[in-house]
Chains A and B, each alone.
Chain A
């Protein structure tokens, strides 16, 4: 475990986190969800918006069917006073990656990151098949849920999991979510009762797929000296890596996550014990693949928030994984952990953020 003296001036910490609840349907503007998060972040760090040197948002215009929605979303980030700002058509976890890179330039010391989405106006399955190859896959409408069904089948056929193992992921997620005030789905269920439900994308059932939600999440990042001014409990980002696999599913081994293994090496996951891991599991079987690829054993608490299976505010879900780990480190419940974000079908893209406390 690193000591405070080990931190270099260019080290970057999370100094504040905020998230809305996962609304099954939020009727107001997405901007207000963002505003709620931004105002809470600034209040927690006792900052004005003008103290932030860079803002970045992750969202998806397709979800609300509104071209350039990301521009009006700047209203929530705070367009005044002027600031260097950026946007990614990706989950907020990737926005955090860009902000982390931006801070390393050294000319600014505080950055704000938000991920937000309102997926309730559409059927997200009818949007995200567009992430697939536009010539040979997307016109089939082969969406992430269908691709997850294929991946789960491959996992079962390979003898790596049973339908009961997959249901067990749901049981644990819903039980863990009972202490998460932002969760959408929580409660005690049994493997047997889940297995009695009909198939949706066989071998997956409806409860194996994350419930889509409207919501937003955000973090404030700061360089070392500023971070220590802003909080007594900075959460240091000690490793951040993102890897992508081929969009040609036939070239991938769907029973493994090669990109997660590479990202884990790059981010230094194995350099110390992982007390807590929050994994971007939008289909229950993915937890089994990710635990294996990350080399996690029973000493790691996985998805203590319930994870995305308890609430999936699309475009904020990956960033929320990082937030849930950071909150536990700042609160003293964990010393070191990893937040994981995924994008694309069948875990095509994986991002890992390793965090430590220690002042």
Chain B
């Protein structure tokens, strides 16, 4: 009953590092109509419907034809997030179009999972908002994301169990990922 009601609440934006997001491909739908939200379970057991990520936009290209369709590469200390924005993400597309890389940016958006005919999975973000930010906010996000990732590894939730079953998650690898991210702050 409680679960049912929560479906109508705004989904919180999960904090996940780029490496972990890139390695994610376990999806499921809660409920069975087309309006049921889709979730991505990451290797450390984050249940993602929306994300908040930050980093450096290092490249951006208009890969569309007649209609603009922007692809941006946003890096954090562990890897790259791919962000795609077209006519249905007009505000975000405009920010990408008018921001000269390299620039610190934050993205709030939904995950998009694409499986190629060769069965490779590509994760990307469909942005709701993109915002140019300052370095301090990036640093805060790294701390925030490190904290939430470690918490997920420690909590031994059912989600983590499910993730371990699917990904054979080695917690040590993800602790190393967190260490790599935190090392970037020692400047």
Whether chains A and B associate is: no
Question: Which residues on A are within 8 Å of B, measured CB to CB?
Answer: none
Question: Which residues on B are within 8 Å of A, measured CB to CB?
Answer: none
